[in-house]
Amino acid sequence: MRPLRPDDLVELGVLRGPYGVRGWAHVRPHSADAEVLRSARRWWLAVPAQRGTDGLADAEPRLAVAVTGVRRQGAELVAKWQGCDSPEAVQALRGARVLVAREDFPEPPDGQVYWVDLIGAQVFNREGLRLGTVRQLQNNGAHDLLEVDPSAGSASEPSGKRPRTLLIPMVDPYVDGVDVAAGRIDVDWQPDW
Protein backbone atom coordinates (compact mmCIF):
# COMPACT_ATOMS: atom_id res chain seq x y z
CA MET A 1 0.00 0.00 0.00
CA ARG A 2 1.41 3.43 -0.96
CA PRO A 3 1.79 5.81 2.01
CA LEU A 4 -0.40 8.89 2.01
CA ARG A 5 1.34 12.18 1.30
CA PRO A 6 1.51 14.43 4.38
CA ASP A 7 0.12 17.96 4.16
CA ASP A 8 3.18 19.48 5.82
CA LEU A 9 5.90 18.78 3.22
CA VAL A 10 8.78 21.26 3.14
CA GLU A 11 11.14 21.52 0.17
CA LEU A 12 14.76 21.19 1.31
CA GLY A 13 16.78 20.38 -1.80
CA VAL A 14 16.98 19.20 -5.41
CA LEU A 15 18.19 15.89 -6.88
CA ARG A 16 21.15 16.71 -9.15
CA GLY A 17 21.94 13.32 -10.67
CA PRO A 18 23.76 10.04 -10.04
CA TYR A 19 26.83 9.56 -7.86
CA GLY A 20 28.74 6.40 -8.65
CA VAL A 21 27.26 3.17 -9.99
CA ARG A 22 25.26 1.82 -7.03
CA GLY A 23 22.23 4.11 -7.00
CA TRP A 24 23.55 6.97 -4.89
CA ALA A 25 22.35 10.46 -5.83
CA HIS A 26 23.80 13.98 -5.65
CA VAL A 27 21.47 16.28 -3.71
CA ARG A 28 21.84 20.05 -3.58
CA PRO A 29 20.41 21.16 -0.21
CA HIS A 30 18.78 24.58 0.13
CA SER A 31 20.55 25.18 3.47
CA ALA A 32 24.26 25.02 4.16
CA ASP A 33 24.07 22.63 7.12
CA ALA A 34 21.31 20.40 5.64
CA GLU A 35 20.63 19.03 9.12
CA VAL A 36 17.08 17.89 8.36
CA LEU A 37 18.04 16.10 5.14
CA ARG A 38 20.90 14.37 6.94
CA SER A 39 18.69 13.16 9.80
CA ALA A 40 15.32 12.37 8.17
CA ARG A 41 14.89 8.79 7.03
CA ARG A 42 11.81 9.42 4.87
CA TRP A 43 11.96 11.82 1.94
CA TRP A 44 9.38 12.72 -0.66
CA LEU A 45 10.52 13.31 -4.22
CA ALA A 46 8.47 15.70 -6.35
CA VAL A 47 9.30 14.52 -9.85
CA PRO A 48 9.28 17.23 -12.55
CA ALA A 49 6.12 17.20 -14.63
CA GLN A 50 6.37 15.74 -18.13
CA ARG A 51 4.52 16.97 -21.20
CA GLY A 52 1.83 14.57 -22.34
CA THR A 53 0.85 13.89 -25.94
CA ASP A 54 -1.83 16.61 -25.67
CA GLY A 55 0.87 19.19 -24.82
CA LEU A 56 -0.41 19.66 -21.27
CA ALA A 57 1.82 19.03 -18.28
CA ASP A 58 0.97 16.02 -16.14
CA ALA A 59 0.46 16.48 -12.41
CA GLU A 60 3.67 16.42 -10.38
CA PRO A 61 3.76 13.02 -8.66
CA ARG A 62 5.34 12.67 -5.25
CA LEU A 63 7.23 9.51 -4.39
CA ALA A 64 8.04 8.47 -0.81
CA VAL A 65 11.51 6.95 -0.35
CA ALA A 66 13.13 5.28 2.66
CA VAL A 67 16.59 6.84 2.99
CA THR A 68 19.32 4.35 3.95
CA GLY A 69 22.34 6.65 3.81
CA VAL A 70 23.30 10.32 3.55
CA ARG A 71 26.72 11.93 3.69
CA ARG A 72 28.27 15.25 2.80
CA GLN A 73 30.13 15.51 -0.53
CA GLY A 74 31.62 19.00 -0.78
CA ALA A 75 28.81 21.59 -0.68
CA GLU A 76 26.26 18.91 -1.60
CA LEU A 77 25.04 15.64 -0.15
CA VAL A 78 25.02 12.16 -1.59
CA ALA A 79 22.13 9.93 -0.60
CA LYS A 80 20.86 6.39 -1.09
CA TRP A 81 17.35 5.03 -0.63
CA GLN A 82 15.71 1.62 -0.82
CA GLY A 83 14.88 0.40 -4.30
CA CYS A 84 17.32 2.70 -6.10
CA ASP A 85 20.23 0.56 -7.24
CA SER A 86 21.56 2.11 -10.45
CA PRO A 87 22.64 5.45 -11.88
CA GLU A 88 19.86 5.11 -14.46
CA ALA A 89 17.23 4.98 -11.69
CA VAL A 90 18.67 8.19 -10.22
CA GLN A 91 18.93 9.85 -13.63
CA ALA A 92 15.20 9.24 -14.18
CA LEU A 93 14.54 11.36 -11.07
CA ARG A 94 17.04 14.13 -11.88
CA GLY A 95 15.60 17.54 -11.05
CA ALA A 96 13.15 16.15 -8.49
CA ARG A 97 12.55 18.42 -5.52
CA VAL A 98 13.40 16.76 -2.20
CA LEU A 99 10.80 17.31 0.53
CA VAL A 100 10.51 16.22 4.15
CA ALA A 101 7.38 16.22 6.31
CA ARG A 102 7.60 18.91 8.98
CA GLU A 103 6.71 16.28 11.59
CA ASP A 104 9.92 14.40 10.65
CA PHE A 105 12.20 17.37 11.47
CA PRO A 106 14.40 16.87 14.54
CA GLU A 107 13.77 19.22 17.46
CA PRO A 108 15.77 22.42 16.94
CA PRO A 109 18.39 23.32 19.55
CA ASP A 110 17.25 25.60 22.39
CA GLY A 111 16.77 29.17 21.25
CA GLN A 112 16.54 28.22 17.56
CA VAL A 113 13.60 27.74 15.21
CA TYR A 114 13.17 26.47 11.69
CA TRP A 115 12.51 29.12 9.05
CA VAL A 116 9.41 27.27 7.87
CA ASP A 117 7.84 27.78 11.30
CA LEU A 118 8.13 31.56 10.92
CA ILE A 119 6.34 31.85 7.56
CA GLY A 120 2.95 33.47 8.15
CA ALA A 121 3.85 34.78 11.62
CA GLN A 122 2.56 38.23 12.56
CA VAL A 123 5.27 40.80 13.35
CA PHE A 124 4.70 43.51 15.99
CA ASN A 125 6.99 46.29 17.16
CA ARG A 126 7.55 47.46 20.76
CA GLU A 127 4.66 49.94 20.48
CA GLY A 128 2.30 47.07 19.61
CA LEU A 129 1.97 48.19 15.98
CA ARG A 130 1.42 45.29 13.58
CA LEU A 131 4.17 45.56 10.95
CA GLY A 132 2.89 42.72 8.75
CA THR A 133 3.21 39.03 8.02
CA VAL A 134 6.40 37.06 7.41
CA ARG A 135 6.33 36.11 3.74
CA GLN A 136 9.72 34.36 3.70
CA LEU A 137 13.22 34.50 5.11
CA GLN A 138 16.47 35.10 3.34
CA ASN A 139 20.12 35.29 4.20
CA ASN A 140 22.33 38.21 3.18
CA GLY A 141 25.57 36.44 4.06
CA ALA A 142 25.88 38.14 7.45
CA HIS A 143 22.57 37.08 9.03
CA ASP A 144 19.02 35.96 8.34
CA LEU A 145 16.37 38.52 7.34
CA LEU A 146 12.63 38.39 7.91
CA GLU A 147 10.81 39.47 4.76
CA VAL A 148 7.68 41.12 6.16
CA ASP A 149 4.73 42.02 3.94
CA PRO A 150 3.01 45.04 5.53
CA SER A 151 -0.02 44.75 3.23
CA ALA A 152 -0.92 41.16 4.16
CA GLY A 153 -4.12 41.46 6.11
CA SER A 154 -4.16 45.28 6.11
CA ALA A 155 -5.34 48.07 3.83
CA SER A 156 -3.11 49.86 1.31
CA GLU A 157 -1.50 53.17 2.17
CA PRO A 158 -3.71 56.26 1.73
CA SER A 159 -1.91 57.03 -1.55
CA GLY A 160 -3.19 53.69 -2.93
CA LYS A 161 0.38 52.40 -3.25
CA ARG A 162 1.32 49.04 -1.90
CA PRO A 163 3.56 49.48 1.18
CA ARG A 164 7.16 48.37 0.69
CA THR A 165 8.35 45.05 2.04
CA LEU A 166 10.28 45.28 5.31
CA LEU A 167 13.55 43.38 5.74
CA ILE A 168 14.19 42.90 9.45
CA PRO A 169 17.48 41.35 10.59
CA MET A 170 17.00 38.23 12.73
CA VAL A 171 19.58 39.31 15.30
CA ASP A 172 19.22 39.92 19.04
CA PRO A 173 19.29 43.75 18.93
CA TYR A 174 16.15 43.75 16.74
CA VAL A 175 14.25 40.59 17.70
CA ASP A 176 12.72 40.72 21.16
CA GLY A 177 10.91 37.40 21.02
CA VAL A 178 9.58 34.61 18.84
CA ASP A 179 6.48 32.63 19.82
CA VAL A 180 6.15 29.89 17.21
CA ALA A 181 2.99 28.43 18.80
CA ALA A 182 1.23 31.83 18.71
CA GLY A 183 2.65 32.75 15.28
CA ARG A 184 4.05 36.02 16.64
CA ILE A 185 7.40 37.80 16.42
CA ASP A 186 8.13 40.91 18.51
CA VAL A 187 10.78 43.30 17.17
CA ASP A 188 12.47 46.63 17.80
CA TRP A 189 11.65 48.05 14.37
CA GLN A 190 9.66 50.87 12.80
CA PRO A 191 7.55 50.69 9.62
CA ASP A 192 9.54 53.48 7.93
CA TRP A 193 12.99 51.96 8.50
Q: In this predicted model, what pLDDT tens digit does every residue of 57-98 receive, in sequence order?
A: 555 768 899 999 999 999 999 999 999 999 999 999 999 999
What are the pLDDT digits (tens) for 115-160?
999 999 999 999 999 999 999 999 888 999 999 999 865 444 555 5
Q: How are the residues of the chain apportioned to helix, strand and coil, as percentages rounded to the nearest 5?
A: 10, 40, 50
Residues 13 and 100 in one domain: yes
What band does 111 get if pLDDT is binned at 50, 70 and 90? confident
Dihedral sign, Cα of residue 67, residue 20, residue 12, residue 2: negative
**Mean pLDDT over the full length of the chain:** 88
Instruction: Give the number of domains in the chain.
Output: 2
Between β-strands 122-125 and 130-139, what pairing exists: parallel, antiparallel or unpaired?
A: antiparallel
**Residue predicted with more confidence, 168 or 155:** 168
pLDDT at 1: 37
pLDDT at 3: 53
Which residue, 70, 104, 138, sits at the end of a domain?
104
Residues 79 and 160 in one domain: no
Return the SS3 of 35.
helix
Residues 99 and 155 in one domain: no
Which residue, 54, 84, 104, sits at the end of a domain?
104
> Above 90 in pLDDT, residue 171?
yes
* Rg of the chain over all Cα atoms, to the nearest angstrom: 20
pLDDT at 13: 96
Query: What CATH number is attached to the domain comprising 154?
Result: 2.30.30.240
What band does 31 get if pLDDT is binned at 50, 70 and 90? confident
User: Domain span at residue 148?
Assistant: 115-187
Which residue, 41, 73, 104, sits at the end of a domain?
104
Residues 67 and 45 in one domain: yes
Dihedral sign, Cα of residue 107, residue 113, residue 117, residue 122: positive
Query: What CATH number is attached to the domain comprising 66?
Result: 2.40.30.60
**Residue predicted with more confidence, 1 or 119:** 119
Residues 27 and 85 in one domain: yes
- Proportion of the chain above pLDDT 70, given as a percent: 85
pLDDT at 159: 56
Residues 25 and 66 in one domain: yes
pLDDT at 50: 65
